[in-house]
Amino acid sequence: MYVLIVNPTSGNGRGQRAGTRVERLLSRMGFPYQVQITQSPGHATDIARSMLQEKELQAVIAIGGDGTVHEVGNALAGTKIPMGYVPAGSGNDFALAHGIPTRPEAAVNRILKGEVRRIDTGRIGGRTFVGFAGMGFDGQVADRVNRSAFHRRLGRLAYPLGFLQTLWNYRPTRLQLTVDGKRHDMDGVWIVAVCNQPNYGGGMKMCPTASCHDGQLDLCCVHDLGHRQLIRLFPRVYKGRHIDHPSIQLHRGSRITLESDPPLLVHADGEVIGKTPLTISVFPQSLSIL
């Protein structure tokens, strides 16, 4: 049996429509399924966890955006139950990273092929992230975008707009980053992004060489530059061309700790989950995806 977890609010109602199309397809093809609609933030994790007891469960199909992938991934990481995905959000970085088609029919066909791949995930403050996490300025932007229905209606433009609105009042801070035991003290830090895939925040290529198959996490630290310089650098991140800039530090490792004063907001897959200090580690080959 397939369990569909549909976030009806994702992508401005796209989730609801995609859910109906997937349901029709599975029914027409005679596959057993059950539909569950999320009622609130966090509900997708609870539903997916409760379904793990089902004997006939073949896969959980997340229908929504990266937030829905995050929530379902939190329940399935560390289990053998695979996650299928039908993209219906505004950013859909997970779909981009894994070549998942945007049309529900094509995404379902891929799921029904049953080709399971194991991917790494990240552990952050007792939770799992599937694609990426970020802190500092980026945590503030995620917070602003997620709280605003207006921003969420903008799709991929939500992040660039949130970026510009958050920019002028943000003060970069001092931060201690430790990667696999090696400490890096940095001043004037804007962003530390931790990536398990290249795509980030609606199509940016924050860590262009990140891979979910290498047992490592890639980091991109943006520090020591002024507001205007950051604006000039920003468009380059969509092609991954920011990495040669002198204010960018790249690292790779499997265990990362971050400390800062003041504490910085942290997001995981675009969902705000807390503040620094925290430890992040890779959870190799922990999630099965279709």
Ligand X SMILES: Nc1ncnc2c1ncn2[C@@H]1O[C@H](COP(=O)(O)OP(=O)(O)OP(=O)(O)O)[C@@H](O)[C@H]1O
Residue, CB closest to ligand X? 65
Q: Which residue, 120 or 271, is less far from ligand X as judged by CB? A: 271
Supply the minimum distance, in Å, between the C-beta of residue 75 and ligand X.
Answer: 13
Residues that bind ligand X in the complex, under the rule CB under 6 A: 7-11, 38-41, 43, 64-68, 71, 89-92, 152, 270-271
Rounded Cα distance between 103 and 117, Å, is 21
Q: Which residue, 93 or 120, is less far from ligand X as judged by CB? A: 93
Supply the minimum distance, in Å, between the C-beta of residue 35 and ligand X.
Answer: 14
Q: Which residue, 157 or 164, is less far from ligand X as judged by CB? A: 157
Give the DSSP letter of residue 262: S
Rounded Cα distance between 132 and 235, Å, is 19
Q: Which residue, 39 or 229, is less far from ligand X as judged by CB? A: 39
Supply the minimum distance, in Å, between the C-beta of residue 113 and ligand X.
Answer: 24
Q: Alpha-carbon dihedral of residues 137, 143, 90, 111, nearest 10 degrees?
A: 100
Using DSSP's 3-state secondary structure scheme, residue 38 falls into: coil
Supply the minimum distance, in Å, between the C-beta of residue 3 and ligand X.
Answer: 16
Q: Which residue, 7 or 173, is less far from ligand X as judged by CB? A: 7
Supply the minimum distance, in Å, between the C-beta of residue 37 and ligand X.
Answer: 7
E strands, the chain, in order: 2-6, 33-37, 59-64, 83-87, 117-124, 127-129, 132-136, 173-179, 182-195, 199-200, 204-205, 217-223, 248-253, 255-261, 265-268, 271-275, 278-289
